[in-house]
Chain A
């Protein structure tokens, strides 16, 4: 059974701090990794994607991938109250277009 594991939270950080969201996956053949943000009552929206080991930065967001440890993370710098949402880790294995979704981590950024 292919799985994606996330800490459900809630993760609470003060405004301006760094929020660190973590995810582990079980399928070593996984090739593509995505972070989606979902506000309550809304559909998921793509925040970051990463394919290669290392870090990928986009504005206040940094995705980190370690395939040897089967670990992917998302860092949010200078967290804002508007970042308060559920963050979903998503993994796609090899040539299979099927996505495996984590249950999500709830993030609360406190003013």
Chain B
């Protein structure tokens, strides 16, 4: 399965600032997925990032708050903009395995907004 490098692994940020999270995959993938996992909760899909087109956002998530770039088939970034303490969460990127037998996740970014 694909190997995903995600960074930063954690950060503490001031409210009102922005943080960009990067994910690098060791193989070309069509779709990359960005998730949020709030404390004690399961995963919530933020958006699907397709190379060469606008990301598709889920209900409750907007591009102005979570802009996504997907410049090529191995890389994507998610920016958390104008952060507030409610954005404190773990952010995960994910890709579908080539065998279509599941999804692989990056190691996650633990974000704390103070």
Contact = CB atoms under 8 A, between A and B. Distances in A.
Contacts of B96: 97
A88 interface: yes
B102 A34 contact: yes
A44 B43 CA distance: 9
A99 B31 contact: no
A103 B40 CA distance: 8
Given A34-B102, A49-B101, A97-B31, A43 B45 contact: no
Contacts of A43: 92, 105-108
Interface of A: 34, 41-46, 49, 88, 97-99, 101-104
5 contacts: A42-B108, A43-B106, A97-B31, A99-B45, A101-B44
Given A97-B96, A101-B42, A103-B42, A45 B101 contact: no
Interface residues of B, number: 19
Contacts of B41: 103
Given A43-B92, A43-B107, A43-B108, A102 B42 contact: yes
Find the residue from A43, A97, A99 having the highest chain B CB count within 10 A: A43
B61 interface: no
Nearest to B92: A43
A100 to B, nearest CB: 9
Contacts of A41: 110
B20 interface: no
B45 A45 contact: no
B104 interface: yes
A42 B92 CA distance: 10
A52 to B, nearest CB: 13
Find the residue from B43, B104, B110 having the highest chain A CB count within 10 A: B43
Nearest to A88: B42
Contact of A104 (B42, B106, B107): B42
